[in-house]
Amino acid sequence: MCTTCGCSSTPGHHHHGDEGHSHEHHHPLKKIVIEEDILAKNNRLAAFNRALFKEKNILVLNLVSSPGSGKTTLLERTLRDLSPRYRCAVIEGDQQTDNDARRIAATGVPVKQINTGAGCHLDAHMVMHATESFDLDNLDILFIENVGNLVCPAAFDLGEAHKVVVLSVTEGEDKPLKYPQMFHNSDLMLLNKVDLLPHLTFDVAQCKEYAARVSHDLRILEVSASTGQGLDDWYGWLEQELGK
């Protein structure tokens, strides 16, 4: 169980009514062992996924964000713009419903829905089985849209080449400081909905400075999925990664 959100598929279960019992001092050790076991198993499967993706020469991106960042809209536009040039597929992660998967399917791109139920993130085992739905010999890019959550997905390697964190200007500029592990573990940050900046008090420079505190290597691109602003830079980054 996750200590943060209580999800059944994440590490670190804590029994909240046990304080004061004589065996209280044993719990930290059990918690650490369980967490290490879960992450170790996940990392082994992630390594398997990564080797498979490398063998098939597929660029795999793990898209992460909080709910409402515009991640799905950004992905829809990306797929429509890139599909004529690249063979793409999507793994769509949500706790319930296939709403986002149906939106992705409307772009004509193959998509596999994963519903995690009480789980707050995707893991390497889920991704491994989801890839069975695709012809990996005929893919250039696999986008994994993770469950909307800036906490749990940060700890779980899926075998991706990069985590790409999407932050919208309708959120607080201090998100990188509040959720440092996610921003530290990401290689690219897409600052989305910048077309709304004239109507908001969001401080872009301050947000970038906070992000730099967490990770000096985090690249930041300003984009708008609605207007297309900055998307050429996003597509250029993708092309650069495909060429590696």
pLDDT band at 82 (very low <50, low <70, confident <90, very high): very high
Using only C-alpha atoms, the chain has a radius of gyration, in whole angstroms, of 19
Q: Read off the pLDDT of each residue in 74-100 and give the average, rounded to a whole number.
A: 97
Three-state DSSP class for residue 108: coil
Q: Which CATH class is domain 57-242?
A: alpha beta
For the chain, give the mean pLDDT.
90
pLDDT band at 36 (very low <50, low <70, confident <90, very high): confident
Q: Read off the pLDDT of each residue in 12-41 and give the average, rounded to a whole number.
A: 58
Pairing label, strands 141-145, 188-192: unpaired
Closest by alpha carbon to 77, among 181, 180, 192?
192
pLDDT at 238: 98
Given a cut of 70, is residue 18 above it in pLDDT?
no
pLDDT at 45: 98
pLDDT at 16: 36
User: Cβ distance 211 to 189 under 8 Å?
Assistant: yes
> Tell me, what amino acid is at 18?
D
- Could you give phi then psi for residue 32, rounded to 5 degrees? -65, -45
Q: Read off the pLDDT of each residue in 1-6 and give the average, rounded to a whole number.
A: 49
- Give the angle 55-218-154 at the CA atoms, nearest 5°: 65
Q: List pLDDT tens digits, range 159-218.
A: 999 999 999 999 999 999 999 999 999 999 999 999 999 999 999 999 999 999 999 999
Residue with tokens 């660029």: 59
pLDDT at 28: 65
Q: Report d(CA 214, CA 200) in Å as an integer.
A: 24
Q: Report d(CA 203, CA 191) in Å as an integer.
A: 12
CA distances from 220 to 2, 126, 164, 179, 242 (A): 30, 29, 10, 16, 19
pLDDT at 122: 97
Closest by alpha carbon to 153, among 142, 161, 164, 143?
164
pLDDT at 32: 63
Tokens representing residue 91 in the block: 């793994």
Q: List pLDDT tens digits, range 120-165.
A: 999 999 999 999 999 999 999 999 999 999 999 999 999 999 999 9
